[in-house]
Amino acid sequence: MRAHVASYDLVQPGSLREVLTLLAREPGVYRPLAGGTDVMVVYAGGKLAHTKFVDVHGLRELRGIVVTDDAVTLGALTTYTDVQAEPTLGREFPMMGQAASETGGWAIQNRGTLGGNIANASPAADSPPALLAYDASVELTSTRGARWVSYATYHTGYKTTVRAEDELVTRVRIPRIAPGAQGSRVHMFRKVGPRKAQAISKVSFAACVDVDGTRITSARVALGGVAPVVLRVVATEGALVGADVTTLDVAAIGATLSREVTPIDDIRSTARYRRRVAENLFVELTRKLKAHVGLGSQAR
Amino acid sequence: MTASSVGKPLDRVDGRLKVTGTATFSAEVAVANVAHAVIVGATISKGKITALDVGEAQRVPGVVAVLTHLNAAKVPGADKPTEMTDKVVQVLQNDAVLYDGQPIALVVADTLEHASHAASLVKATYAAEAAICEMDKEIGAGFAPKAAPGRPPPDSNRGDIDAALATAFARVDATYTTPCENHNPLEMHATIAVFQGEDHLTLYDATQGIFGLRKRISKAFDLKPENVRVISHFVGGGFGSKGSAWSHVFLAAMASRATGRAVKLSITRQQMFAFVGYRPQTIQQVTAAASKDGTLVALRHEVTSATSRFDTFAEPSANVTRMLYACPNVKTSHRLVRLDVATPTFTRAPGEASGSFALESALDELSYSLKMDPLALRLKNYAETDPDEKKPFSSKTLRDCYTQGAAKFGWSKRKPEPRSMRDGNWLVGFGMATATYPSRQSAASALARVKKDGSAQVLAGSQDIGTGTYTIMTQIAADALGMSVERVHFDLGDTTFPETPVSGGSQTASSVGSAVKRAGMAVRTKLIDLAVKGKGGPLNGMSAEQVDAEAGVLVSKQDRTKSDSYEAVLARNGLDQIEEKIDEKEKAERKDHSTHAFGAHFIEVKVDPDFGEVRVSRVVSAFAAGKILNRKTARSQFIGGIVWGLGLALHEHTERDPRTSRVVTKDLADYHVPVHADVPDMDIVMVDEVDPYVNEIGAKGVGEIGIVGVGAAIANAVYHATGKRVRSLPITLDKLL
Ligand SMILES: Cc1cc2nc3c(=O)[nH]c(=O)nc-3n(C[C@H](O)[C@H](O)[C@H](O)COP(=O)(O)OP(=O)(O)OC[C@H]3O[C@@H](n4cnc5c(N)ncnc54)[C@H](O)[C@@H]3O)c2cc1C
């Protein structure tokens, strides 16, 4: 049953400073409300246990995308529609736009925010694998100051993160690479879901691999839906780095990935299926890498 | 003759009201001093309520009453269904809990917010018992349902199936299953109940059957039927779930009587999964056997479906197997098992939708054993007459559906081998299946009236459940009256209007349309009579046969300059209006015919072999359903049915926790239906068909046939794409890896 609106308290301070002060005064009492696309679902289901919220959706300080020579920095309130409209992201970080375009439907893309997605910390969320693959950092801000943490260390367990209760997610930074290096970069994003839109991912996958000639110089591979957190498969990445694309031991590295993921059975799918898909996604990545170096075609 | 309106793709006459939000649905009717009621549902699936603490709820400001089994008035008729659509309801009569979400209390307050909040504060204590929701645990206790009056018996047997099987060249034996699927029309069930004194009741209800509701409620509350008025001007989808009076209607009436106020009760999306019916899960065993040339020699279809512990509804999935193909040896049966769940009900094409999945999948399997094209197999076994009723069809143009559908789809491009067609990374598959649905007609009445201003008013109780009834009745009436649709006002949805049947079984167009047509014709005849025999006028003295009616004007067939308007005829004869009420019965010729609509689906799917994603990429469906009354509203019915078929094939599944029997997919986030992006453009072919026997208007009803066969056509396409036969719906991704 829908929750009782009068049992909830929503405050709307005018500035970031005031919001941070409120969060600092009684940490944990007030929780941020951004686009509300996660919070309101719980509310509508009558299961929103937390009752005090501070609206951050109006904070101008958390909006906007800034492109500098070394990074693209996105305000926490950046929506999925904003992401898709940003040309630098489209050129250099195409997986961001792909993930955004496959998040929910248009209404959710207009309303849901990147900050909310990160703070909500669902292991099946779609942008986080792309953020992990692009080695993003997250800025956490409180009255104590601002700190940048590597997104790779942000999630600590199922729906737990390094963010303290008085901290807001304020910005997300994605490092750029030299313009000339773009050509040697392979990006692969794939969301596997039952519907073409409004699908909660069974598995999502993002990989960003740099190749010098035929040798892999760096690899970041991340998956959603296969572990308590969105997961960087670091052992798999380790096996890829330094390897030659033409002689890649797909089976062995695939087995490594399979050991790294820990999917479960739930009402949305089975562990067996998720593991198979994770393995197949990796095989697809290797095909893409081979096609990149001029071996074989991308088609299966 | 007047230019005909019937058949034209007229926009909905109520379209403007709907898109501007001014169509008044049941929960939106402005009623003075209305109180809001919210149902508290049980959180166990079986047991007894040992204590109910309503103290906190009662202290919420604005709360008017909290009804529970401890204080609610007795409703002796609640558990005494008499009609086929009647259900045993749970209306606070005792402490028993029979299923998850069963009403255990009703909170009435001045606002919906207060009522909802107070409802969340009612605390129940239970003595829970083990509840069973899995069919296989109860299958040993399966039993045969009683045949409903006028409906086919649960079992059938023609020929000698065992002898035929012994000689068959190819044979398929397989078990198919379909899951529980919950009703989720856009508009959730809603009632406003207004007791005036002790013995008059008005119900504004989202219902598919105002007269059935009046009968059930007047009996249960011991009221005279004429003292109960049911009004239902707009219904936001019913699909069978609004064909019965469920618990909430009784509860709203009880609350109105108890509080002396009008009471509005609109159930929540979550409660759609509790007590308003669903398509029950089925287990279907099919044997299909053929001789070498593809001639079917035997069909066996044994169905077990689930029902509640306390009421009976059988999903008649095998009925379609009895009549669809010319097969001499056919044996079918229906069994039920009881579970600790709510009672299932009619769900768009009950029986045909689930049963055709099994039958049409089995035929597809047989086609591969025979190395025969699936369409050729169907054509080989085309039934020229109804093999079950042993009567000629009133009309059957299925062959044209097959050929026109196949041609438009490009069926001939299908490569017979599974996994032989590709589009880049995706495997491509073609699947087809036959669709059929009975064309019913029930007794119905209608009244037509031409007024002195030359406009017409036409009334029939009936309901428009979103199908376009207002529109097609306006068209039928206009043609019958010899008027233009702009001058005809058709109204429905009120038990003070002439009596009509439930809008179920695709029978509204057929039943109400026939009555409306005859009422309109009767008024036209009277007008012509007056013009030729009444006082003066340009047509006076002619014979009635010499006069035509056209856009509200009578004209001489010989000399079209001689004309007389309806207004003039009425004015000259000193009449305010002319009206006729017609009580239309089933058309007599129906008795000697089998009456069905037919169709064929051709569907292309693309399947990702590595991830198991299935995308329906093309749909061509051809239907022969008698006269198409409005090509636009008919197309909407067909595509609506097909979209639901996509859901049935790929998504829909009400999941229960087997430990508690409770539903875990209680909203549209977890209960998946197709989204727009999943639905390709559909090519709907409406094959011309003239049927002089089925009813007065020659139309067969198009509300349900669209979904029939879609499950199989998609499953068959998935097999063709992947070589994987999925016999258990829905075809989720994990079943393909
Ligand atoms: C129909 C539907 C479809 C969806 N589909 C997808 C999908 O395909 N993929 C996907 O990944 N997600 C999906 N979501 C989930 C949701 O839309 C996203 O997670 C979205 O990004 C959340 O952002 P928000 O601003 O709406 O968050 P909110 O609901 O406002 O907040 C979510 C959580 O984050 C916290 N929070 C928000 N902003 C901050 C901040 N700046 N600092 C600290 N904490 C903060 C809140 O306190 C809350 O706990 C869907 C949701 C719906 C309703």
Contact B207, B236 (CB under 8 A): no
Top CATH class, B278-440+591-735: alpha beta
Q: Which two tokens stand for residue B719?
A: 């097999």
Any chain B CB within 8 A of the CB of A270? yes
SS (H, E, C) B52-94: EECHHHHHCCCEEEEEECCCCCCCHHHHCCCCCCCCCCCCCCC
DSSP state of A32: E
State the pLDDT at residue A296.
Answer: 65
- Distances from the Cα of B101 to the Cαs of B39, B98, B113, B172, in angstroms? 9, 9, 20, 41
Phi first, then psi, for residue A293 (nearest 5°) are -90, 10
**Residue A297 pLDDT exceeds 80:** no
Any chain B CB within 8 A of the CB of A191? no
Counted residue by residue, chain A has a size of: 300
**Residue B723 pLDDT exceeds 60:** yes
CA R_g for chain B: 27
pLDDT in tens, B109-137: 999 999 999 999 999 999 999 999 999 99
CB-neighbour burial class of residue B473 (10 A; exposed 0-12, middle 13-18, buried 19+) = buried
Q: Which helix (H) or strand (E) holds B398?
A: helix B398-409
Return the sign of the alpha-carbon dihedral for residues A39, A42, A46, A52.
Answer: negative
pLDDT in tens, A158-216: 999 999 999 999 999 999 999 888 899 999 999 999 999 999 899 999 999 999 999 99
Q: Is A197 in contact with B667 (Cβ distance < 8 A)?
A: no
Nearest by Cα to B365 from B4, B716, B736, B721: B716
State the pLDDT at residue B9.
Answer: 97
Q: DSSP string covering B517-577, please?
A: HHHHHHHHHHHHHHHHHSS--TTTTS-GGGEEEETTEEEESS-TT-EEEHHHHHHHTT-SE
Contact B472, B509 (CB under 8 A): yes
Mean pLDDT, rounded, for A59-70:
96
Strand B553-556 and strand B563-565: pairing?
A: antiparallel
Any chain B CB within 8 A of the CB of A49? no
Mean pLDDT, rounded, for B294-323:
98
**Alpha carbon distance B254, A265 (integer Å):** 45
Q: Which two tokens stand for residue A179?
A: 């313009």
> Would B278-440+591-735 and B442-585 be classified into the same CATH topology?
yes
Beta strands in B121-169 (DSSP E): 123-128, 156-158
State the pLDDT at residue B373.
Answer: 98
At B511 the three-state DSSP class reads helix
**Alpha carbon distance B246, B234 (integer Å):** 18
Give the homologous superfamily in CATH for domain B32-129+185-268.
Aldehyde oxidase/xanthine dehydrogenase, a/b hammerhead (3.90.1170.50)
The interface residues of chain B toward chain A in range 606-625, judged by CB-CB distance below 8 A, are: 609-613, 615
Share of chain B above pLDDT 70, in %: 100
Where do the H-state alpha helices sit in B227-348? 247-259, 319-323
Nearest by Cα to B665 from A45, A178, A68: A45
Active-site position among B315, B604, B696, B704: B704
State the pLDDT at residue A268.
Answer: 85
At A267 the three-state DSSP class reads coil
Any chain A CB within 8 A of the CB of B668? no
State the pLDDT at residue A1.
Answer: 64
Nearest by Cα to B493 from B105, B144, B204: B204
**Residue B526 pLDDT exceeds 80:** yes
Give the residue from chain A lying closest to B667, CA to CA.
A45
Any chain B CB within 8 A of the CB of A192? yes
Mean pLDDT, rounded, for A148-164:
97
**Alpha carbon distance A253, B248 (integer Å):** 59
- Nearest-neighbour CA in chain B from A287: distance (Å): 12
The residues spanned by each domain of chain B are 32-129+185-268, 278-440+591-735, 442-585
- On chain A, the residues whose CB falls within 8 A of the CB of B674 are 195
Phi first, then psi, for residue A69 (nearest 5°) are -60, -35
Pocket test for ligand 1, best of A11, A120, A132, A165 (most atoms within 8 A of CB): A120
What atom of ligand 1 comes closest to residue A168's alpha carbon?
42
pLDDT in tens, B151-201: 899 999 999 999 999 999 999 999 999 999 999 999 999 999 999 999 999
The owner of tokens 């009068």 is A6
Q: Across chain B, what does the average pLDDT equal?
A: 97
Question: How many Cβ pairs closer than 8 A exist between chain A and B?
Answer: 84
Count of other CB atoms within 10 angstroms of residue A147: 14
**Alpha carbon distance B299, B653 (integer Å):** 28
Contact B133, B341 (CB under 8 A): yes
Q: Which two tokens stand for residue B545?
A: 């046969």
- On chain A, the residues whose CB falls within 8 A of the CB of B733 are 192, 194, 202, 269, 273, 277
**Alpha carbon distance B54, A180 (integer Å):** 71
Q: Which residues of A75-106 are buried (b: 16+ CB within 10 A; e: fewer)?
A: bbbbbbbbbbebeebeebbebbbbbbbbbbee
**Alpha carbon distance B126, B132 (integer Å):** 17
pTM of the shown model? 0.97
Ligand 1 neighbourhood includes A225 CB (under 6 angstroms): no
**Residue A86 pLDDT exceeds 90:** yes
Share of chain B above pLDDT 90, in %: 97
Query: Residue B1's pLDDT band (boundaries 50, 70, 90)?
Result: very low
Q: Which two tokens stand for residue B407?
A: 């041609």
pLDDT in tens, B197-234: 999 999 999 999 999 999 999 999 999 999 999 999 99
Q: Which residues pair with B577 in a beta bridge?
A: B451
CB-neighbour burial class of residue B728 (10 A; exposed 0-12, middle 13-18, buried 19+) = middle
pLDDT in tens, B664-722: 999 998 999 999 999 999 999 999 999 999 999 999 999 999 999 999 999 999 999 99
Phi first, then psi, for residue B171 (nearest 5°) are -155, 145
DSSP state of A33: E
Phi first, then psi, for residue B378 (nearest 5°) are -65, -45
Top CATH class, B442-585: alpha beta
